[in-house]
Amino acid sequence: MKIIKLILILVIVGLSGCKSPEARRPVTQSSGSFINESIERNRELVAREEAQILEIIERDTLNDYVASNSGFWYYYNTKTTDSTNTETPEFGDVVRFDYDIKELDGDVIYAQGELPTKRYAMDKEDLFNGLREGLKLMKEGEEVTFIFPSHKAFGYYGDKNKIGTNVPIITHVKLHSIINESNNNPNN
């Protein structure tokens, strides 16, 4: 009798041990609402910044602003009238320029001369998105004032110095020179 009970217990334990494993369910489930809320916050931020920028443009009757395809606005302080000077920087060209940075209300963040003259290899070095795109529109000797919404400027992180989170900026840029990549390459 004891042997039958022992065999019966072993069979029950053996059968219950052969059960296939069940998948564990997460304690909490995410519905993606955080991402959707973040997208909505960013849309509101962009709309608010663009409204501020368009208000500035509307009040400024002295300058003719151009809306770029890249999502920023600009006007020429000095535009080249030389018909032979049609060259704009392309990938790999080295440009030399000066610039300053202001907030939309005109408060100076970096004054002209506070930032050193910059040498920049187009699209090969780090530069904030808006200025990188803006330089591509300029010719040697031109001065342009750009208005960048924060996502085209320093965005969420700022410059980790004087520019904070999500700050739209006004930048005055003077392009001194463009050195073609082909002239800059010692292998040619």
In a domain, residue 87? The reply is yes
In a domain, residue 174? The reply is yes
At 105 the pLDDT is: 94
Query: Residue 132: which domain range?
Result: 66-184
At 15 the pLDDT is: 65
In a domain, residue 27? The reply is no
At 143 the pLDDT is: 97
* Two tokens, residue 50: 């663009």
Q: What is the CATH number of the domain that holds 143?
A: 3.10.50.40
Number of domains observed in the structure of the chain? 1
Whole-prediction pTM: 0.78
Which residues in the chain belong to E strands, given as ranges? 66-67, 73-78, 94-103, 108-110, 118-121, 143-148, 169-179
> Over 70: is that where the pLDDT of 177 sits?
yes
| Distance from C-alpha of 158 to C-alpha of 150, rounded to nearest angstrom | 9
* Two tokens, residue 161: 């110095």
How distant, in Å, are the alpha carbons of 36, 48, 115, 135, 187 from that of 183? 49, 44, 27, 19, 10
At 9 the pLDDT is: 77
In a domain, residue 56? The reply is no
In a domain, residue 162? The reply is yes
Q: Where is pLDDT greater, at 9 or 125?
A: 125
Instruction: Give exposure, 39-64, as e/b (b: 16+ Cβ within 10 Å).
Output: eeeeeebbeebeeebeebbeeeeeee
Say if strands 73-78 and 169-179 run parallel, antiparallel, or are unpaired. Answer: unpaired
Say if strands 73-78 and 94-103 run parallel, antiparallel, or are unpaired. Answer: unpaired
In a domain, residue 30? The reply is no
In a domain, residue 127? The reply is yes
pLDDT in tens, 155-168: 999 999 999 999 99
Q: Where is pLDDT greater, at 98 or 185?
A: 98
